[in-house]
């Protein structure tokens, strides 16, 4: 269950700071963050079929088609559900009519400010963390179950379908499923599944979602591993280890001389240093490196000039690549420890040392290793 009190405390501060009377969320991750419920019917839609708002109380607005189901199956009893005739209004119009003003929303509502829901969703609360742990274990178990049974002749799209089914059986959605066999994983960084056979090895990258939380992971399975695969995977893993250590330092404010938490751009600088140290200085240019995770696949992606603060407790999914190899898991970074959320204990790991970068600890990390079949 979502800790509604923690949400309202954060929203009270936001409303006071902005001089607003209400704030509304209709994007699925914002709705899920505020209520714990799911407002998705059409997965292709940018906004859901209901908006959840806070104006001193949490309430939801939807049409009469959805109101009963949301009240019965999706929302806590403390969240009142108001409905409007499906033929009479748009959701935006219904919110505009019923909300006190001035107000903000994460979707287009006439006369409302836009709210950046990502900043309100960070950092994670205690109940977020517990649900995140469950999602991470489920996602890793589903992906690893499929990966253990792969064969060189398997088409990429069949592997993706198996992952979809394995996650769906655990009540987990799959907004991203990438499967790259030996040929396409070397050619592309986003290997959307095709009818090509896996061949000598495969990279499987998944972002899984449940109740608004997102966890990402990559697994490597080799049948007849190319000579270079181990070197490139370990290089990517050392960059990931450096990114994790730099995240810890940035959240503590130890990476630079600035007051408070350091910025995403500071972690990005450490990542670039790591690429150079492992002998692949230009690889960061070929793909984004990941960033903060939680109620989005990435709440933000680190870039050279990014000023987004590095917070804790927070999920982070760094995904460095070295042509044909990738290292990625979702990690929970807190003041007391860092733990891998997408971990089952059943997949092999290897000990990886972060690169020696100023301000970054070089303690070894246990990261996911390739499976050699």
Are 241 and 350 part of one and the same domain? Answer: yes
Pick from 121, 146, 181: which residue ends a domain?
Answer: 121
- What was the pLDDT predicted at 89? 87
- What was the pLDDT predicted at 149? 97
Pick from 106, 121, 136: which residue ends a domain?
Answer: 121
Q: What is the extent of the structural domain holding 140?
A: 126-372
ω into 12 cis (within 30 of 0): no
Reading the block at residue 202, the tokens are 């495969």
Are 194 and 330 part of one and the same domain? Answer: yes
In order, the DSSP letters of 299-347 are SEE--TT---B--SSEEEEE--EETTEE--EEEEE-SS-EEESS--S-S
Are 154 and 243 part of one and the same domain? Answer: yes
Q: In what order do the strands lie in the sheet with 314-318?
A: 300-301, 290-293, 314-318, 329-333, 338-340
Are 321 and 174 part of one and the same domain? Answer: yes
Are 87 and 179 part of one and the same domain? Answer: no
The answer to whether 185 touches 218, Cβ cutoff 8 Å, is no
CATH number at residue 69: 3.40.350.10
Q: Checking phi first, is residue 142 left (phi over 0); if not, alpha (psi -120 to 50) or beta?
A: alpha
Are 362 and 259 part of one and the same domain? Answer: yes
Are 323 and 214 part of one and the same domain? Answer: yes
Are 174 and 282 part of one and the same domain? Answer: yes
How many helices (H) does the chain have, and how many strands (E)? 10, 19
Provide block-wise average pLDDT over 10 residues at a time, the chain (373 residues): 92 98 98 97 96 98 98 96 95 98 98 96 96 98 98 98 98 97 97 98 98 97 96 98 98 89 96 98 98 98 96 98 98 97 97 96 97 89
* Three-state SS at 201: strand
Counting the structural domains of the chain, the total is 2
Are 110 and 241 part of one and the same domain? Answer: no
CATH number at residue 333: 3.90.230.10
Are 143 and 113 part of one and the same domain? Answer: no
- What was the pLDDT predicted at 260? 84
- What was the pLDDT predicted at 1? 77
Pick from 121, 155, 187: which residue ends a domain?
Answer: 121
Are 297 and 148 part of one and the same domain? Answer: yes
Are 179 and 31 part of one and the same domain? Answer: no
- What was the pLDDT predicted at 274? 98
């Amino acid at each position: 269950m979502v800790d509604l009190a923690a949400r309202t405390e954060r929203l009270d501060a936001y409303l006071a700071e902005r001089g607003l009377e209400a704030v509304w969320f209709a994007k699925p991750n914002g709705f899920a963050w505020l209520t714990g419920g799911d407002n998705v019917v059409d997965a292709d839609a940018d906004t859901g079929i209901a908006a959840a708002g806070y104006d001193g109380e949490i309430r939801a607005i939807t049409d009469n088609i959805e109101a009963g189901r949301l009240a019965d199956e999706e929302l806590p009893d403390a969240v009142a559900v108001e409905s409007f005739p499906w033929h009479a209004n748009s959701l935006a119009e219904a919110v505009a009519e019923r909300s006190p003003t001035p107000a903000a929303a994460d979707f287009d509502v006439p006369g409302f400010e836009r709210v950046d829901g990502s900043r309100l969703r960070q950092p994670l609360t205690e109940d977020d963390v517990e649900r995140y742990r469950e999602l991470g274990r489920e996602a890793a178990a589903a992906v690893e179950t499929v990966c253990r049974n792969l064969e060189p002749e398997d088409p990429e799209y069949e592997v993706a379908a198996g992952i979809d089914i394995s996650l769906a059986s655990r009540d987990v959605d799959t907004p991203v499923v990438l499967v790259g066999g030996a040929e396409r994983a070397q050619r592309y960084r986003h290997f959307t599944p095709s009818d090509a056979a896996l061949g000598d090895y495969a990279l499987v990258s998944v972002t899984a979602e449940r109740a608004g939380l997102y966890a990402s992971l990559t697994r490597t399975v080799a049948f007849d591993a190319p000579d270079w695969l181990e070197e490139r995977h370990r290089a990517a893993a050392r960059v990931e280890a450096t990114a994790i250590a730099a995240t810890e330092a940035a959240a503590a404010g130890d990476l630079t001389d600035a007051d408070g938490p350091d910025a995403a751009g500071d972690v990005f600088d450490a990542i670039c240093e790591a690429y150079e140290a492992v002998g692949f200085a230009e690889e960061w240019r070929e793909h984004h490196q990941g960033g903060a995770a939680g109620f989005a696949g990435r709440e933000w992606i680190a870039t050279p000039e990014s000023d987004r603060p590095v917070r804790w407790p927070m999920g982070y999914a760094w995904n460095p690549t070295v042509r044909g190899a990738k290292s990625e898991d979702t990690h929970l970074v807190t003041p007391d420890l860092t733990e891998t959320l997408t971990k089952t204990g059943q997949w092999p790991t290897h000990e990886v040392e972060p690169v020696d970068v100023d301000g970054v600890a070089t303690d070894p990390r246990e990261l996911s290793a390739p499976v050699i079949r």
